Structure 1
Amino acid sequence: MPRALRGATVALGNFDGVHVGHRAVLRAAHAARPDLPLAALTFEPHPREHFRPEDPPFRLTLLPAKAEALAGAGAGIVYALPFDDDLAALSAETFVEEVLHRGLGVRHLACGADFAFGHRRGGDADFLAAAAEARGIGLTVVPPVVDAAGPISSTRIRRLLQDGYPERAAAELGRPWEVRGHVAHGDKRGRLLGFPTANLPLGRHLEPARGVYAVSAVLPGGGMALGVANIGRRPTVDGTESRVEAHLFDFAGDLYGREIAVRLHRFLRPERKFPGLEALRAQIALDAAAARAALA
């Protein structure tokens, strides 16, 4: 590693979503050694994607969005370790020695109380404390951030999104949840209906509750637009692939092939099939009005 990227105080974790609990780990790492650069160490792909590739997509944040959120939370350095068979086979002791101590030269570590690492998750916070102390590395173990419903976790946030509560997920993330991707060509039905849409494949993102949402979008160059979006398979037109179809209010630019982020604010109604395109057109107009009211 370049010298400038060594010797940091490092927060450890998968950091999917970079929620308020993850930010507490970053704050603890910085508070323990404010004289050192603050770094976050994460894994890509998520270990669950490596070990269970047949699982449905579940990610809250893909690597570019995760790195941006970590930087926004104060991390000046993000280490994204490629999680492959070789890394998965490292013992906890070897991971501490070869990656943290020799590879990165860490000076202080912070992790959640449930952090586990190494082959077959053979290392936990207690193991890390002993291994770090033996090498002159400090460690801060951060208790879970809790609210009235219990500990905040990526798993809990996924469940809130799948149940149709994006505003509650946003409270635990510290920001609205978003799907980020490049706008793809669709079947142009939205344009024919009078409601042109920007279409994003969900890809490796979690699929939230299927239905219609009040949304905002971050446009190329950083501009913002409000809108209404359907997430699902479009049963009225026999769609088969889940995707985001966002109609942006008062926007007429060309977004094809460009990256945008669609942020979910309010779930308006479940996805359903309509008897024809005219009925669908009428419902979209109602949905747009409901979204404008929700976002006002």
Structure 2
Amino acid sequence: MTTARVLRISGSESLPAGLRGGVVAIGNFDGVHRGHQAVLARALDEAKRLGVPALVLTFEPHPRTFFRPDHPLFVVTPAPMRARLLAQLGFDAVVEQPFTGEFAQHSADRFVEETLVAHLGISHAVTGFDFHFGKGRQGGPAFLMAAGKEKRFGVTLVDAFRDEGSEVVSSSRIRELLGEGNVAEAAGLLGYRYTVEAEVIRGRQLGRTLGFPTANMALPEPNGLKHGVYAVRLRRADGSLHDGVASFGRRPTVDADGVPLLETYVFDFADDLYGEICAVSFFGYLRGEEKFDGLEAMVAQIHRDEAEARALLSGVRPLSELDLAIAF
């Protein structure tokens, strides 16, 4: 991923004075998928037209996680990754509004008057056509339009974005595809390759003894990606990009009771990655997890996985400018 950065602000009340008066895209934006990008592009265009900052207002944690703590949500783009994607798109800042019990009790009027007007001083709001806000979801598109007219800020509502099959692009569809291991179709909806980011940690170092050293990463939980083996690219903190093959799962041959880990074997690479924050982009699903009869059979399969991944990655092309910035 390139070095673009966006200012991350915790809470609307913390917005620097120099960013007040901007155009604000409002939503959860989990996935920053093609549907979200339609909303975000309108906000960027409006900010350019008005000559004001382009901001994103989102909520952390995701409101579904707050309201249903017993049903943890697989977040496609955790806050740090979402911020990196928004930076690549060209936003100046993302306001990550803490979604607390107290905030959940705010009325729709209070959200407009306090968050949008008093704290952010917005000149224009851009959101999806079905955005609802305030206690009990009492605020909707008509409410926001009326509030904008009263408080003197513009409002743009963006219709649902549909893919080439005329289906609405949604985060739930993407979660389902990732749960099936279908990272290729998920990339078509995202507009870029599904990417995770985490610190490289020490494992049992078994791969090193077998000739396949791996960069091990514990992904934020819950992660609903199907356990299996994938063709991937790993980007180091210095920006360098490396092809590889990765296994995500519990390692049934050597450690069946372990916690899920992403283990990436980076091709033609010998440096130490421990402690680095690296990003891994998924290009193709190769196979499911297997329990082998022994290490010899496992090593033979890893050789086959490597050959298949190299072949797959040799022919890939970027899906978009965003994909180009992330995975190429």
- Local SS of the residue matching 2:242: strand
- Local SS of the residue matching 1:140: strand
Q: Is the 1:158–1:206 Cα contact (8 Å) retained in structure 2?
A: no
Deviates further, 198-207 or 171-180: 198-207
Compute the displacement of 1:84 (Å): 0.9
Counterpart residue number, 1:293: 311
Alignment of 1:1-296 (within 5 A): 1-33=15-47, 34-35=49-50, 36-147=52-163, 148=165, 150-204=167-221, 206-237=223-254, 238-296=256-314
Q: Is the 2:65–2:72 Cα contact (8 Å) retained in structure 1?
A: no
- State the Cα deviation string for residues 110-156 of structure 1 (Å, max 9, x = none): 10112111112221112211122211111000001101050111111
Q: Is the 1:16–1:59 Cα contact (8 Å) retained in structure 2?
A: yes
- Local SS of the residue matching 1:199: strand
Deviates further, 203-212 or 39-48: 203-212
CA–CA distance in structure 1, aligned partners of residues 231 and 16 of structure 2 = 45
Amino acid at match of 1:98: E
- State the Cα deviation string for residues 203-238 of structure 1 (Å, max 9, x = none): 236231111000001112000000000111111112
- Local SS of the residue matching 1:150: coil
Query: How many positions carry a matched residue from both structures?
Result: 296
Q: Is the 1:10–1:109 Cα contact (8 Å) retained in structure 2?
A: yes
- Local SS of the residue matching 2:31: coil
Taking only the aligned residue pairs, the percentage that are identical comes to: 46
Compute the displacement of 1:47 (Å): 1.3
Q: Is the 1:62–1:205 Cα contact (8 Å) retained in structure 2?
A: no
Compute the displacement of 1:57 (Å): 4.7
User: Which runs of 4 or more aligned residues in structure 1 lie more than 4 Å from their structure 2 counterparts after TM superposition?
Assistant: none
Q: Is the 1:188–1:196 Cα contact (8 Å) retained in structure 2?
A: yes
Amino acid at match of 2:191: G
Compute the displacement of 1:54 (Å): 2.9
- Local SS of the residue matching 2:96: strand
Amino acid at match of 1:169: A
TM-score when normalising by structure 2: 0.87
CA–CA distance in structure 1, aligned partners of residues 115 and 233 of structure 2 = 40
- Structure 2: runs of 5+ lacking an equivalent: 1-14, 315-328
